Amino acid sequence: MKEKIHPTWFPEARVHCACGSTFTTGSTLKEISVEICAACHPLFTGQQKLIDTAGRVDKFNQRAAAAEQKQKEAAARLADRDAKKAAAAAEA
């Protein structure tokens, strides 16, 4: 191997999972944080659980509701503008 080109190897690197499980492995990082590991992954545990760490479904539903509300407001403004134009044309 060439000298001074390889990263430092840590044979006792600690891995911390979001479920609280920790184990050691070899890595170029001293400590590793993961969201899912063999102790909590549904493939290994046999249990299905929904992982929604960032509330992605709720955020999507909020954005969809906000977009629908804005569409309704825009349609109301357009109808109001058209009514004003019709009234102005009737006066002339």
**Sequence-distant (≥ 6) Cβ neighbours of residue 32 within 8 angstroms:** 13, 14, 15, 16, 25
- pTM summary value: 0.45
Which pair of structure tokens corresponds to residue 79?
């109808």
Which range of residues forms the domain containing residue 45? 1-51
What pLDDT shows up at residue 58?
85
What pLDDT shows up at residue 49?
64
Number of domains into which the chain is organized: 2
Q: What is the pLDDT of residues 9-23, one digit of tens each?
A: 999 999 999 989 999
Q: Are residues 1 and 37 in the same domain?
A: yes
Q: Is the dihedral of CA 2, 7, 10, 13 positive or negative?
A: negative
Q: Are residues 60 and 26 in the same domain?
A: no
Q: Are residues 4 and 43 in the same domain?
A: yes
Q: In which band, very low, low, confident or very high, does the pLDDT at 53 lie, cut at 50, 70 and 90?
A: low
Q: In which band, very low, low, confident or very high, does the pLDDT at 43 lie, cut at 50, 70 and 90?
A: confident
What pLDDT shows up at residue 78?
94
